[in-house]
Structure 1
Amino acid sequence: MDFTRRRLLTTTLAASAAVGMPHLWLPGSKEAWGATLKKGEPIKVGLLFSLTGALAVPEEDSTLVLQYAFEEINKNGGINGVPVEPVIVDAKSDFNVYAEKTKELILREKVIALFGCYTSASRKAILPTVMQRNHLLYYPTCYEGAECTQNTICTGPLANQHSKDLIPFMVEKFGKKVFFVGSNYVWPKESNKNAKIWLEQVGGELVGEEYIPLGSSEFGPVLNKIRDTKPNFIFSTVVGASDIAFHKQFKQEGFKVDSMPIASLTTGEIETRAMGAEFGAGHFLSAPYFQTLDNPTNQKFVEGFLKSKYGKNGVTHYNMEETYLSAYIFKAGLEKAAAAVGIENVTPRVIRDHSAGIRVEDEVSPEGLVWIDENNFNTWLKPKIGQCQGDGTFKVLKAAEQHVAPDPYSIYPNLGTCTKDGLKAADGKLRTNVI
């Protein structure tokens, strides 16, 4: 082992078939082997991100910033005086590997919590195991919602916390004609369902919609369609290495950012650094965090991280910051759980249940105060819209004055409301672990 982001039954069967190690799969068991804490022993947590492959650009930084965060926590006394010990694995941008390593981390390494995934496809690949073991996943990036599990805490924005603001902003600034481009998996497609509603509400027009395979770098046919349809702007949900290729080919094909910019939910400082600032300049991103946020906590975070041995990639960005926050949400939830039930009775699910309403205050959070919703365990935050500058940093052009509540069913209100105990339908029936 290496150390160094629809239905439950269908997904569970698929994951079971795809992943080996049957000796680690225990149907019907309520808790993971040994997933409790013992006095005096380090608190083991699993870091499950891709350090290689098409998803490594954003995910490597998640691994690095969690090491930085837990080192910071340990230097300040750990959690209840006990150090945190990260167990790091490389998911290799392979959904089967995510699933395999999830079982190893839970059942062999006996971690008390998992921090992992960037795509919804990888998240959905591991959730059957997480739920079957009644374990706990901290998912630290934006996702599409339409999910209600009792084993996840999400620190990134939902659609109603980013594209809901971004679409009308772009229509007002550039025009009503929009072309959607996304990677071909669940998050871009579901995000675009949300975006279509926001677009319709402001009188916009969808002139095209294309999806490319995850990891693909060939955008010639898509760019030809964009040239033919002449949108006022492009709405992008392309991720990872594909995102870098898309921006580079956009400029190389002669498209002009001032007349047809790309508005993205994923292209931040790390992607811009990887592609070169000249390819990102002028484009837009909606996110709760930017490296340029002007507050003392962010200045300390940026300076401390970039000077540390973990800051080798040279920037901070929204996905990294959301991952950093997840470490402190875990710390607060574990401390609260231990105070309530005693350290020897803390399990992953107990941590989750005691994390309702957990706050990360201005003094700790680089983006400012955030907190965990008491019902759906997503995060209250302030959406922002930034434009990439010539040096690869982002200028914040718009920021919400008030925190926006996370709404995982914002475009599916008929399906019910996500509560701490499950999805509550209009008829009062409760369904648990809906993915």
Structure 2
Amino acid sequence: MEEEAKSNAPWRVGVLFSQSGVTAAIERTQLNATLLAIDEINSAGGVAGRPIEAVAHDPQSNPKKFRELGERLMEDSRVRVVFGCYMSSTRKALLPVLEARDGLLFYPTLYEGFEYSSHCIYTGAAPNQNSLPLLKYLLDTYGDRFLFVGSNYVFPYESNRVMADLIASAKGNVLNEIYIPLEPKAEDFDKVIREIRKHGPDVIFSTVVGAGTPMLYRAYREAGFDPAKMPIASLTTSEAEVALMEPEDAAGHITAAPFFDSLNTSSARSFVSAFRLKYGQDAPIPAGAEAAYFQVHLFAEALRSAGSDAPDALVRALKGLEHDAPQGRVRIDSDNNHTYLWPKIGRITENRGFEVVWSPRIRVKPDPYFLSPSIDDWSHLPFEGRRA
């Protein structure tokens, strides 16, 4: 450790976010946010006088590529820390590579929960930080009859399982569950529209990801449905996907996330300003990008404390570590390597922005195994107690 601290060599890190493939639009924002954070840290003198050097590859939204590139990073580039992954299928492909070779993954994306690895720091939302507040808002605002539509891979299946259990506990109903190909065609949504017409749900809960998202919202509008009465509510429709839609396709629909790029706090404005100065004034900045950004700063703080990029030393330094992120002050949970976050519900506006329509204004302890779910009483949630 002492030798590492005295070295002048850069701290090399792997960066695996797709620049092509079905989830390229959102992963590109995560890549950009990662590089922005690295630039900021290096401009301030690096860590222990050493810059952070990114070794980046394009895994093409392909789990097999994530695994192969993870092996290359660990064996050829000799990195010990990787920032990356959006889809759960890619995380599940990469993580065993890092576990077998004593690496550490920083994962900045919401996911289905029910996982823990000592080789992963989870900075995206767990289900109790997005599914639960989203459902509470939907039940209070629209009704208790839900139709599920998702992409055909692990996250939608598991996320829908969690949401179905919560709806059942609230005595609501899931009318049907439909899955479309991960790389769909427009006609794949014909069945979705037929099922909406058939059942007339109060809410369509979408876990469609990537390129299929704009297709779903376009099909919904062309069918003549009204989001004021029956919205599409999602965990996965972010600024990155909305940027690919026509404004009239997006307006009125609902998303749950700990960050929206329209947040009007000084830390959020500063982050958004820096991001758009570097990547363009129209650049979308979703919650996944915000997590990708603050997790690099958390890494740098842990690295400064540990004096080493050895994963076990970093994880020890990260436990309980706090950082003033754009969404609010976050903290790594010592119990499970997940992150305390600030839930919010946003409605898409006519100019494709997000208006926050509900928030508990408190940061929520991550509960990836959903040990304390409750729809009816927020006091049963594992709140940490720090209010906005």
1:332 is aligned, of 292, 301, 306, to: 301
Aligned-partner Cα distance in 1 for 2:65–2:199: 40
Q: What is the match of residue 350 of structure 1?
A: 313
Local SS of the residue matching 1:175 = coil
Letter in 1 for 2:327: E
Q: Which runs of 5+ in 1 are unaligned?
A: 1-35, 414-435
Letter in 2 for 1:373: D
Local SS of the residue matching 1:274 = coil
Aligned-partner Cα distance in 2 for 1:300–1:89: 28
Local SS of the residue matching 2:136 = helix
- 1:53 paired with 2:21, answer yes
| Residues 29 and 286, structure 2, Cα contact 8 Å, conserved in 1 | no
**Which aligned segments of 4 or more residues in structure 1 are displaced greater than 2 angstroms?**
310-313
| Residues 64 and 311, structure 1, Cα contact 8 Å, conserved in 2 | no
- TM-score, normalised to structure 1, is 0.82
- 1:187 paired with 2:155, answer yes
Query: Shift in Å at residue 348 of structure 1?
Result: 2.2
Aligned-partner Cα distance in 2 for 1:303–1:322: 16
Q: What is the match of residue 378 of structure 2?
A: none
Q: What is the match of residue 402 of structure 1?
A: 362
Query: Shift in Å at residue 406 of structure 1?
Result: 0.5
Once the two structures are superposed, the pairs formed by residues 25-424 of structure 1 within 5 Å of their partners are 39-217=7-185, 218-308=188-278, 310-311=279-280, 314-338=283-307, 343=308, 346-361=309-324, 365-410=325-370
Letter in 2 for 1:367: Q
Give the superposed CA RMSD: 1.6
| Residues 37 and 112, structure 1, Cα contact 8 Å, conserved in 2 | no
Query: Shift in Å at residue 401 of structure 1?
Result: 2.6
- TM-score, normalised to structure 2, is 0.92
| Residues 223 and 250, structure 1, Cα contact 8 Å, conserved in 2 | yes
| Residues 147 and 176, structure 2, Cα contact 8 Å, conserved in 1 | yes
Query: Shift in Å at residue 412 of structure 1?
Result: 9.7
Q: What is the match of residue 28 of structure 1?
A: none
| Residues 88 and 154, structure 2, Cα contact 8 Å, conserved in 1 | yes
Query: Shift in Å at residue 312 of structure 1?
Result: 6.9
Offset from partner CA, 1:175-210 (integer Å, 9 cap, x none): 111001111111111111111122122221111111
| Residues 116 and 337, structure 2, Cα contact 8 Å, conserved in 1 | no
Local SS of the residue matching 1:360 = strand
Offset from partner CA, 1:350-404 (integer Å, 9 cap, x none): 212221011112xxx1111000001101000111101000011111111123221
Query: Shift in Å at residue 38 of structure 1?
Result: 6.8
Aligned-partner Cα distance in 1 for 2:116–2:267: 32
Letter in 2 for 1:314: A
Query: Shift in Å at residue 100 of structure 1?
Result: 0.5
| Larger displacement relative to structure 2 (219-228 or 371-380) | 219-228
| Residues 242 and 250, structure 2, Cα contact 8 Å, conserved in 1 | yes
Identity over the aligned pairs, expressed in percent?
Answer: 37
Local SS of the residue matching 2:346 = strand
Local SS of the residue matching 2:243 = helix
Aligned-partner Cα distance in 2 for 1:195–1:311: 37
